[in-house]
Structure 1
Amino acid sequence: MNRDDVAWSGYWPAAPTPFTRSGDLDTDALAELMQLYARMGVDGVLVNGSTGEWFSQTGDERRTVAEVAVDAVAGRFPVVVGVSAYTARESADLAKHAAAAGADGVLATPPPYVHTSAEETVQFFHTVSTATALPFMVYNWPRGVSLDMGTIPGLFARLAGLGNVVAIKDSTGDWLSMLDTVEAVSDRVRVFGSFLHRRGLATLLELGGDGNIDGGGVGAPFAVPFYRAVAARDADTARTWADKYRALSGRLINPDYSGVYASPIPQLKAVMNLLGQPGGAVREPLLPVTDAPTLDALRAVIAESGIAEASELTVGAGRAG
C-alpha cells in the first residue's frame, strides 16, 4: 500500500472518549459525538488515540469504543482506531478487532515508556501493521512515549516502506522536524501534522502534507473550511480560516502540545462542555477542570475567538435531535 490507496486528508478530530462523572464509559455520548462530527463536515475521525484516553480504558472498553464509533459514523467518513499498547501482541489484537468491527484503518505509537531503538521500532510497526489488511497510520507522539522518531535519521523512510503503512501522524513539537517528515516521505505516504496556520498553509500549497488530526474537534468550524479552501487552492480564503483557528488554538495549546490552562484533555473536555458538546468527563489519573478562574478564562477564549457562534448551528442541530 501507499498514499494512493486511501483518500485520507483534511481535518480529522482526535475524538475524546466521553465518560460519566462516575467514570463509566458513556456510549450514548460517544455516538452523539460522532453525529456532531458528521454535521461539522469533518474528513475523518480518530478514536482511542491519545485524546481518547486509551490508557485508562480496559481492553473491552477500547473494543466497545471502536464498535460504537464505526456504527455511528456508518461510512460517512473514515474511522481510524488507535491501537497503541505496551506490546506488539496487544496492539495487534486490538487491530484485528478494529478490522472485524469495520474500521477503515488503525494507528499506533511506538510502545509508551519503553523508548525502543530504531530496529525495535521498525519491528514493532511491522508486527502491528501486518496483523490485518487495514491501512496503517504511524503515530509520532514524543510527548506521550518519550521517543521522537523524527530525530532518528531515515526511520520514517523505513516505516513508510512497510507494506500496509499509508500515513504518518507527526505530532512532534518541533515544527521544522515535521517539515522534514513531509519532505522525506509525503510522496509515498499521507502526512498529518501541524498545518492550521499561515506557515502550514504555505507548506500544504508548495511542499506537501495532507491534513490535521487534533484534539476534540472544537476548532472544526474553522478547520473544515480551511481545508476546503486548500483543496480549491484558494489561499486568501484559507488564510482567513487559518487565522480564526489560530486565534482559538493558540490560546489553548502550547507548541509542545501541553495545555495553557490545564492538562490538555481536561481542558478540552471543559471547553466542549461549555460549548454544549458531548465531551463528557475525564477519568483518573486526569482531573476535571472545576475551579472558577480557569473556567472563566476558558469562557473568555470561547467568546473572543467566535467559536461559539461558529458552532451554534451544528450544536443546535444536535440538541434538537
Structure 2
Amino acid sequence: MHRDDVSWSGYWPAAPTPFTADGALDEDAWRALLRLYHRQGVHGVLVNGSTGEWFSQSPAERRRVAEIAVQELSGRVPVVVGVTAYTPAEAVEFARHAAGAGADGVLATPPPYVHPGAEEIHAFYAEVSGATDLPFMVYNWPRGVAADISAHPGLARRLADLPQVVAIKDSTGDWPRMLDTVEAVSDRVRVFGSFLHRRGLAALLELGGDGNIDGGGVGAPFAVPYYEAVARRDAATARTWADRYAVLSGGLIRPDYSGIHASPIPQLKAAMALLGQPGGHVRPPLLPVTDAGTIQAIGDVLARAGLTAAPATEQVTEQAAEPATDGRAEVRA
C-alpha cells in the first residue's frame, strides 16, 4: 500500500471512551459523542487509542467500542481502531476483529512497558500490520510507551516500507525530530503530527504532513476550519484558526503532551463536561478532576479560547450529573 491508497488527512479526534460514574461502558454517550464528531465535520476518528483508555478496558469492551464506532460513522468519515497491546498476538486479534467489524484501518504503538529496540519494533509491526488487509497506521508515542521510533535512525523509513503501512502518527514531543520523520517518509505514507500552529502551517505548505490526531476533539471548532483552509492553500485563514487553537491547546497541554491542570485524560473529560459534551467519566487508575479550583482553571482556558461552557461547574465537580448527550461547543468571536 501507499499513502495514495487512503484519503486520511485533516483533523481527527482521538476519541475518549465514555464511562458511567460507576465505571460501566456508556454506550449511549459513546454513540452521542460519535454523532457530535460527525456534526463538527471532523475528517476521521481514532477509537481505542491512548485517549480512549484502552488500557482499562476488557477485550470485549474494546471490541464493542470499535463496533459501535463503525456502526455510527461507517461511510461518513474514516474510522481507525487502536489495537495496541503488550504482545503481537493480542494486537493481531484486535486487528482481525476491527477488520471484521468494518473499520477503515488500525493503529498501534510499539508494545508498552517493555522498551523494545529497533529490530523488535520492526518485527512487531511487520506481524501486526500484516495480519489483515486493512491500511495500518504506526503510532510513535514515546511518552506513553517509553520507546521512540524517531530515535532510531532509519526505522521510520523501514516501517513505511511494510506493505500495509500507509500512515505514521508521530507524537514524539520533539518537534524537529517529527519534521525529520516528515522529510523521511511523507512521500510514501501519511504523517499525522503537531501541525496546528504557525510553524506547523509552514511545514504543511512547504515540507509535507497530512493532519493532527488530537486527544478528545475539543479543538474541533478551530482545527476543522484550519485544515480546510490548508487544503485550499489559504494560509491567511489558516493562521487565524491556528492562533485561536493555540489559546486552547497552550492552556491545557504541555509540549510533551502532559496536562497542565491534571492528567491529560481526566483534564479532557472535565473540559468536555464543562462544554456539555458526552465524554463521561474516567476509569481507575485515572481519577476524575473534582477540585473546584482546577475545574475553574480549565473553564477559564475554554473561555479565553471562546468556547461556551454549558453545564454548571458544580455539576462537573460532583462528577455525577451526565452532560447533555448532544452538547457541542459554541465558538464566540
Q: Would you say same fold, with TM above 0.5?
A: yes
Point out where structure 2 has 5 or more consecutive residues left out of the alignment.
Answer: 310-322, 329-333
Amino acid across the alignment from 1:57: Q
The aligned residue for residue 113 of structure 2 is: 113
Amino acid across the alignment from 1:74: S
- Please state how far the C-alpha of 1:191 moved relative to its aligned partner: 0.1
The aligned residue for residue 131 of structure 1 is: 131
Is 2:312 the partner of 1:306? no
Is 2:104 the partner of 1:104? yes
- Please state how far the C-alpha of 1:317 moved relative to its aligned partner: 9.8
The aligned residue for residue 90 of structure 1 is: 90
Which structure 1 residue ranges, 4+ long, deviate > 3 Å from structure 2? none
- Please state how far the C-alpha of 1:255 moved relative to its aligned partner: 0.3
Amino acid across the alignment from 2:326: G
Query: What SS is found at the alignment partner of 2:46?
Result: strand
Distance verdict in 2 for CA 1:180–1:248, change over 3 Å: same
Cα deviation 1:224-269 (Å, max 9, x = unaligned): 0000000000000000000000010011000000000000000000
Amino acid across the alignment from 1:179: L
- Please state how far the C-alpha of 1:117 moved relative to its aligned partner: 1.2
Is 2:63 the partner of 1:63? yes
Q: Is the 8 A contact 1:11 1:220 kept in 2?
A: yes
The aligned residue for residue 23 of structure 1 is: 23
CA distance in 1, matches of 2:9, 2:304: 29
CA RMSD of aligned residues (A): 1.5
Distance verdict in 2 for CA 1:27–1:85, change over 3 Å: same
CA distance in 2, matches of 1:319, 1:205: 34
Where do 1:1-321 residues align within 5 Å? Answer: 1-308=1-308, 318=326
Percent identical pairs in the alignment equals 71
**TM-score w.r.t. structure 1 length?**
0.97
Point out where structure 1 has 5 or more consecutive residues left out of the alignment.
Answer: 310-314
**TM-score w.r.t. structure 2 length?**
0.93
Query: What SS is found at the alignment partner of 1:103?
Result: coil
CA distance in 1, matches of 2:291, 2:324: 27
Cα deviation 1:56-110 (Å, max 9, x = unaligned): 0000000000001110113200000000000000000000000000000000000
CA distance in 2, matches of 1:140, 1:257: 13
Q: How many matched pairs?
A: 316
Query: What SS is found at the alignment partner of 2:326?
Result: helix
The aligned residue for residue 312 of structure 1 is: none
* Bigger shift: residues 71-80 or 10-19: 71-80
CA distance in 1, matches of 2:24, 2:72: 19
CA distance in 1, matches of 2:221, 2:103: 25
- Please state how far the C-alpha of 1:316 moved relative to its aligned partner: 8.9
Q: Is the 8 A contact 2:78 2:104 kept in 1?
A: yes
